[in-house]
A and B are shown apart, each in its own frame.
Chain A
Amino acid sequence: MTDKRIKTKQTHPPSRRAFLRGAAATGAGLAASAASAQTAPDPLITEVQDWASGTGDGVDATPYGLPIEFESDVIRRNVAWLTADTISSINFTPIHALDGTITPQGCAFERHHSGAIELSKSDYRLMIHGLVDTPLVFTYADLERFPRINKTFFLECAANTGMEWAGAQLNGAQFTHGMIHNMEYSGVSLRSLLSEAGLSAAGDFKDKWVYVEGADASSNGRSIPLEKALDDVMIAFKANGEALRKEHGYPVRLVVPGWEGNMWVKWLRRIEITDQAIESREETSKYTDTLEDGTARKWTWVMDAKSVVTSPSPQAPITHGKGPLVITGLAWSGRGAITGVDVTIDGGKTWQKARLAAPGQPMALTRFYLDIDWDGSEMYLQSRAHDDTGYVQPTKTQLREVRGLNSVYHNNCIQTWWVKKNGEAENVEVS
């Protein structure tokens, strides 16, 4: 391992950062537009580089690869002061550095309540019981025999952006909006598993519930209306083509499209059909949203339409000077598909429609771009998502007018980045 790293470094001497510095030192920098001339020949072109002369790694060097070392800043990050310890805690997806919509599993955020457990496929059991005709136990191998489906959905923690309720606090899209990932799931519809157990015992579906829990010590039990369970909830065992990562629920997790991440129970072990909500800890003490008058909303399941500019942003400043600038970001809605994203560079005085990289898919991340010619002046960058229900993403002021400051969860407000003349960006609130 160590040898390989040294070898790699020798094979590819200039790091990306050194490359940036080197280019800047030549006087042209990356700011060079078509109009700026190169005054001296670029040695990266005129001199034969090692990689163009020697050889790279053999195909046996890396049976399962990690990103190249120059991308070492594209990692999950932890904010130590947010929680009492790292076992029941959260980390953040580096959305400021990603593009497209699919989140690489290796840097997709984690939220555990009693740590990421190790559960093998051979030890795995899934039980379905309660108001069913025949209570059942499945092995992992059983699950792979049901008709398979593939669907892409975002998973957003209910607490994403929660630290920003009272004001601008964390300086970076990773921290303010990174409790999210978006994966292509392969698995089985919950409907087909429940059908296997038989639901004639459940009677009228309208007032019935499904209680789901994980195999970990926290259990993370949540109540889901049976109608949602029979609609689009999945039991997933693959994500982005391969098995779930340990930290994302290996070998089986629940996928609850559009609904708050807490309900996507990992290491799923039990599904009980009940005639009432269990009102578990995770739907009473937690994942209830306190309003200004002290009452609290419960069962706020859906994640509303939301967006954020991922670049430029505090962790992704403008490093190329004036001229062409790609503004990009993500939009999503738990109520359906994104139909459009508006972007403002003047703090909301004027808005223009961004370009969606692909038509919005229901309850999945959508990538947007706005290509501008930056004149080097300050910007107050914001994005505003629209979904196919006609909902438009609100400002933080609008949300606070309804909810006050103590909701903790479900903060889908419009985010502002103050981009300064030198290209730096900062998380701010504006009037």
Chain B
Amino acid sequence: VLAAGLGVGRAALPEEIAAWDKDIAPDGTGLPVGSGSVEYGEEIFSETCASCHGEFAEGVDNWPTLSGGFGTLDREDPVKTVGSYWPYLSTTYDYIRRSMPFGGAQTLSDDDVYAMVAYILYSNDLVDDDFVLSNENFLEVEMPNAGGFIVDDRVVTEYPHFTSETACYEDCKDTVEITMRAAVLDVTPIEDTPEPVIEATQ
């Protein structure tokens, strides 16, 4: 227990806490009462989200893909979506309600968000088209990659191997060959770097 404070600040009112405390934990703590259907979700997704995320949540241009990508996480370019990657459905509800749509955040009703989440589940083939998501059945939805995360294990898998004790200073390798060059890709927006002096000017 920490020592008593300075008496600075004032008590937060319940209405104030309710207005800002919107986070939802994986066990459903924080979920509001409400529900929404895939059918209604499709309608509002099309109006509010599809211009960036695509009609089927497949993503437009560089904007995030929300659906698909199953079975790609161990491939060269994994497609990490709500369906293929996100471990908890709570995050989807929480994030959409608080931060989407991009540029018009916190404009959706709680029921709208349930419908939106239901549609994203449908676009990932995780529920049928007649599905209705609510605070009652929220935790029954199984997220495919729920078991796909491990807590930071660098202390075991890396730190014992990356140690000063074995750092080499002399005769560390025989040859050094260039294996990759950034200039070949040429994707750097450099303008106006100073010109090096060529040998002849000396």
Contact = CB atoms under 8 A, between A and B. Distances in A.
Interface of A: 17, 20, 24, 29-31, 73, 77-81, 83-85, 87-88, 113-114, 127-130, 134-138, 142, 145-146, 167-172, 175, 191-192, 194-200, 211, 213, 217-219, 221, 269-270, 272, 274, 276-281, 284-285, 288, 290, 292-302, 304, 314-322, 342, 346-352, 376, 380, 384, 386, 389-394, 398, 402, 405-406, 418, 421-424, 426-431
Contacts of B201: 24, 29, 31, 321
Contact of B17 (A129, A342, A376): A129
Interface stretch (B41-49, B123-131, B146-154): B146-154
B178 A272 contact: no
Given A73-B192, A77-B189, A392-B162, A145 B91 contact: no
Contacts of A113: 99
B33 interface: no
B142 to A, nearest CB: 16
Q: Is the interface of B mostly helix, strand, loop or mixed?
A: loop
Interface in B79-119: 80, 82, 85-88, 90-91, 94-95, 98-99, 102-103, 105-106
Contacts of B26: 276, 279
Given A88-B102, A278-B24, A426 B181 contact: yes
Given A114-B102, A280-B23, A191 B180 contact: no
B137 interface: no
Contact of A392 (B76, B167, B173): B167
A81 B187 contact: yes
A136 B199 contact: no
Interface of B: 1-6, 8-12, 16-17, 20-21, 23-27, 29, 52, 61-64, 73-74, 76-78, 80, 82, 85-88, 90-91, 94-95, 98-99, 102-103, 105-106, 148-154, 157-159, 161-165, 167-183, 185, 187-190, 192-199, 201-202
Contacts of B102: 87-88, 114
Contacts of B181: 168, 418, 426-428
Contacts of B154: 297, 300, 302, 304
B62 to A, nearest CB: 4
B88 A31 contact: no
A196 B20 CA distance: 20
A252 B201 CA distance: 53
A278 B23 contact: yes
13 contacts: A30-B197, A137-B16, A145-B6, A197-B5, A217-B106, A219-B98, A270-B20, A281-B94, A294-B148, A297-B152, A349-B173, A351-B167, A351-B168
A376 B6 contact: no
A31 B202 contact: yes
Contacts, number: 306
Given A29-B201, A279-B91, A430 B85 contact: no
B164 A84 contact: no
Nearest to B77: A406
Contacts of A351: 167-169, 172
Contacts of A281: 91, 94-95, 99
Given A168-B181, A279-B90, A280-B91, A294 B169 contact: no
A127 B150 contact: no
A114 B99 contact: yes
Contacts of B193: 73, 172, 314-317
Given A322-B202, A348-B172, A218 B9 contact: no
Contact of B86 (A194, A284, A346): A284
A301 B157 contact: no
B10 A137 contact: yes
B83 to A, nearest CB: 12
Contact of B171 (A292, A350, A389): A350
A386 B164 CA distance: 7
A171 B188 contact: yes
Nearest to A175: B188
Of B76, B151, B193, chain A has the most CB atoms within 10 Å of the CB of B193
A292 B74 contact: yes
A376 B94 contact: no
A138 B17 CA distance: 13
A380 B202 contact: no
B9 A319 contact: no
A390 B20 contact: no
Contact of B196 (A167, A300, A422, A430): A422
Given A129-B12, A135-B11, A431-B176, 11 more contacts: A137-B12, A142-B9, A169-B187, A191-B2, A281-B94, A295-B73, A301-B152, A314-B182, A342-B169, A349-B173, A422-B199
A213 B3 CA distance: 26
Contacts of A274: 25
